[in-house]
């Protein structure tokens, strides 16, 4: 037992050994001084004893007074304690400190730092975006993280209350809950971390901004349905769905989507090759944004077509999760044997989005024929988005599209890891304009702040115009909102940059763009769980304004006008 305790003490490397060494040295020196006082004489007293103990080379001081053996013993004891044990202890302490730092076991006191919980793919983008920020970055993860002058690594679990306490979370300026890649229960662990952080940050002396990254569509559904108002102080939370965020990076404020102006008899047709979370998020993001003047002028709806095997299962999943959206939408399903099922919209045909589900392998003749036929129809302004189970499948699909596909302005592909192959493909000049989105691409909003800022501007305009007790600041108005209201404001803001390009806002009559905003709102509300009804009942997700623009009361039409008339302020 004693041996095990001693070995543990020596191996701990946290400085305790130094304390014990000083205690032992003090006991040895004290014993020697007592001996000198009791047995010494005028020629050899406590001064000579201390001199030998501090410098073993003085051991001959005891020779002339008959204490040479005592002097020699003291010299050897000093060499053992100071020259041997002290040096080895210092080396052991330093080595163990280094090991503890690399393994993330040491903790420090931080103020106004940036805390990142997790080491997923977004971590490097976050760190790169903060390269000119003077604040320290603390990264806590069970997986090793490369440290540098700015990044401090803590080994810990984000859903552990004790580990979170050790990060000084209540003293942080910003917290990013990103989690680990491909971990089981990712969103559940992140939600547990959020609840623990709310408790920990209750003692904060300043507001702490928190960005929660989720990656399951069902988790996002819950937040989209979540009507409880947020908190206006302490832990200020914004929720980001990873796949929706990547789709927004592709489509919001970029030149990827078609620009169809008034007078142009064109249809935006987006073909999504693949299924899964990335495909679903890309489709819904496009549905929020793509509302063109050609709908009211020529009856042209934006078409979103999915092409992949297992399409019936994917279609049924979408309908089950967003029943009111697809009940009120026109959609078609083409089975593997080329039979077509057509669904006509319920409650009147008031949406300007149409859906197509093509149950065929991306490499099949049926899939290629569908894509070629869409491209051959000159009314279509086509964009293609390619998704898949992994980067290899995505790359193969995008490089094996029909040759006519490479003549369209852009083909987007969702990549997780590397763009090396696509860079080589660009050099061949055979594959048109390939645009990468997803974790493998660079993002100019890696800190999620621009995304929130656009939504905040929309929300503040609405707050100032219609709130019973208008907020004093943009942030106050934002963080008192429910997550569902935040999503709604972000979706509104996302559509504004393309809308400015498609509509002539210099005309006195802005009714066409007001109608487009209402059609955008219809799709967003249906995606976020609302159903049409004679009377609005938000507690049961029923909204009386899910009707054509002309059927709205003037007061409700004014709300669309309020936002559109502030479009330059939103997009500045």
Q: Encode the chain (572 residues) as per-residue pLDDT tens digits.
A: 454 444 444 445 555 555 655 666 666 666 666 666 665 555 565 566 666 555 555 555 555 555 666 666 666 666 665 655 555 665 665 566 566 667 788 888 999 999 999 998 899 999 999 999 999 999 999 998 887 778 999 999 999 999 999 999 999 999 999 999 989 999 999 999 999 999 999 989 999 999 999 999 999 999 988 877 765 468 999 999 999 999 999 999 999 999 999 999 999 999 999 999 999 999 999 999 999 999 999 999 999 999 999 999 999 999 999 999 999 999 999 999 999 999 999 888 999 999 999 999 999 999 999 999 999 999 999 999 999 999 999 999 999 999 999 999 999 999 999 899 999 999 999 999 999 999 998 877 899 998 899 999 999 999 999 999 999 999 999 999 988 999 999 999 999 999 999 999 999 899 999 999 999 999 999 999 999 999 999 889 999 999 999 999 999 999 999 999 999 999 98
HSE, side-chain direction, 13 A CA sphere, residue 323? 4
d(CA 271, CA 303) in angstroms, rounded, equals 8
Residue 145 phi, psi dihedral angles, 5° rounding: -130, 135
- Integer-rounded Cα radius of gyration of the chain: 34
Grouping H, G, I as helix, E, B as strand and the rest as coil, residue 527 is helix
Q: E strands of 215-287, at which residues?
A: 235-241, 267-273
Residue for token pair 């099922």: 341
d(CA 217, CA 226) in angstroms, rounded, equals 14
> Furthest-apart CA pair in the chain: how many Å?
118
Closest CA to 271 of 341, 374, 393, 394: 374
d(CA 413, CA 437) in angstroms, rounded, equals 6
d(CA 193, CA 179) in angstroms, rounded, equals 10
Closest CA to 372 of 403, 411, 335, 339: 403
107 Cβ contact list (under 8 Å, min separation 6): 154, 166
- Going by the DSSP 8-state scheme, the letter that residue 329 receives in this structure is S
User: Quick count: other Cβ atoms within 10 Å of Cβ 472?
Assistant: 7
- Going by the DSSP 8-state scheme, the letter that residue 59 receives in this structure is G
522 Cβ contact list (under 8 Å, min separation 6): 350, 351, 546
Evaluate whether 455 touches 478 at the Cβ level (below 8 Å).
yes
Token couple for 547: 């009707």
343 Cβ contact list (under 8 Å, min separation 6): 326, 329, 330, 331, 332, 333
Grouping H, G, I as helix, E, B as strand and the rest as coil, residue 315 is helix
User: Quick count: other Cβ atoms within 10 Å of Cβ 152?
Assistant: 22
Evaluate whether 211 touches 174 at the Cβ level (below 8 Å).
yes
d(CA 178, CA 144) in angstroms, rounded, equals 15
d(CA 304, CA 403) in angstroms, rounded, equals 21
Token couple for 392: 């290899």
- Going by the DSSP 8-state scheme, the letter that residue 507 receives in this structure is S
User: Quick count: other Cβ atoms within 10 Å of Cβ 336?
Assistant: 15
Burial group, residue 39, by CB count within 10 angstroms (0-12, 13-18, 19+): exposed
Closest CA to 303 of 379, 223, 409: 379
Looking at residue 107, its pLDDT comes to: 87
Question: Distances from the Cα of 283 to the Cαs of 48, 244, 339, in angstroms?
Answer: 88, 10, 24
HSE, side-chain direction, 13 A CA sphere, residue 415? 22
Kindly give the interhelix angle for 554-564 and 511-527, rounded to the nearest 10 degrees: 100
End-to-end Cα separation, the chain, in angstroms: 71
Q: Whole-prediction pTM value?
A: 0.84
d(CA 136, CA 46) in angstroms, rounded, equals 52
d(CA 224, CA 527) in angstroms, rounded, equals 9
d(CA 63, CA 512) in angstroms, rounded, equals 110
Element (H, E) at 382: strand 380-386
d(CA 247, CA 261) in angstroms, rounded, equals 23
Residue 144 phi, psi dihedral angles, 5° rounding: -60, 145
């Amino acid at each position: 037992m004693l041996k095990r305790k001693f070995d543990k003490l020596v191996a701990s490397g946290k400085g305790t050994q130094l304390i014990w060494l000083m205690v032992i040295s003090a006991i040895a020196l004290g014993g020697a001084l007592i001996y000198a006082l009791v047995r010494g004489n005028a020629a050899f007293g406590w001064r000579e004893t201390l001199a030998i103990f501090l410098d073993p080379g003085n051991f001959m001081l005891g020779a002339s007074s008959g204490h040479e053996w005592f002097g020699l013993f003291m010299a050897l004891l000093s060499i053992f304690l100071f020259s041997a044990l002290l040096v080895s202890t210092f080396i052991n302490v330093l080595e163990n400190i280094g090991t503890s730092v690399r393994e993330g076991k040491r903790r420090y006191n931080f103020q106004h730092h940036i805390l990142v919980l997790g080491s997923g793919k977004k971590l490097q983008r976050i760190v790169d975006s903060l390269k000119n920020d003077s604040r320290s970055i603390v990264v806590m993860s069970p997986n090793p993280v490369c440290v540098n002058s700015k990044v401090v690594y803590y080994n810990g679990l984000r859903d552990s209350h004790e580990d979170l306490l050790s990060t000084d979370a209540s003293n942080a300026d910003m917290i990013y809950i990103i989690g680990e890649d491909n971990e089981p229960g990712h969103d559940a662990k992140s939600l547990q971390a959020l609840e623990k952080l709310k408790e920990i940050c209750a003692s904060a002396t300043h507001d702490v901004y928190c960005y929660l990254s989720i990656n399951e569509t069902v988790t996002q559904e819950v937040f989209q349905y979540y009507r409880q108002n947020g908190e206006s102080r302490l832990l200020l939370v914004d929720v980001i769905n990873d796949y929706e965020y990547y789709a927004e990076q592709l489509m919001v404020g970029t030149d990827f989507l078609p620009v169809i102006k008034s007078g142009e008899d064109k249809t935006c047709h987006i073909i999504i090759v693949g299924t899964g979370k990335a495909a679903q998020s890309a489709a819904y993001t496009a549905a929020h944004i793509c509302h063109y003047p050609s709908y009211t002028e020529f009856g042209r709806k934006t078409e979103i077509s999915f092409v992949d095997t297992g399409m019936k299962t994917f279609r049924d999943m979408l309908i089950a999760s967003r029943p009111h959206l697809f009940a009120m939408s026109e959609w078609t399903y083409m089975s593997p044997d080329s039979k077509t099922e057509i669904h006509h919209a319920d409650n009147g045909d008031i949406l300007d989005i149409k859906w197509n589900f093509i149950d065929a392998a991306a490499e099949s003749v049926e899939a290629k024929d569908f894509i070629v036929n869409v491209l051959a129809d000159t009314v279509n302004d086509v964009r293609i988005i390619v998704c898949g189970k992994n980067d290899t499948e995505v790359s193969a699909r995008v490089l094996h599209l029909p040759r006519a596909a490479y003549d369209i302005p852009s083909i987007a592909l969702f990549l997780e890891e590397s763009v090396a192959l696509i860079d080589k493909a660009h050099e061949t000049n055979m594959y048109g304009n390939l645009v990468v989105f997803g974790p493998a691409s660079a993002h100019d909003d890696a800190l999620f702040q621009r995304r929130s800022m656009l939504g905040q501007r929309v929300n503040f305009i609405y707050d100032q115009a219609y709130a019973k007790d208008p907020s004093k600041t943009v942030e106050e108005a934002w963080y008192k909102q429910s997550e569902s209201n935040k999503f709604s404001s972000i979706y509104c803001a996302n559509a504004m940059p393309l809308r400015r390009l498609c509509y002539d806002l210099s005309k006195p009559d802005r009714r066409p763009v007001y109608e487009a905003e209402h059609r955008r709102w219809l799709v967003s509300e249906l995606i976020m769980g609302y159903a049409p009804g004679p009377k609005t009942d938000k507690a049961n997700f029923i909204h009386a304004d899910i009707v054509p623009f002309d059927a709205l009361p003037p007061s409700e039409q004014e709300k669309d006008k309020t936002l559109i008339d502030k479009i330059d302020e939103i997009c500045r």
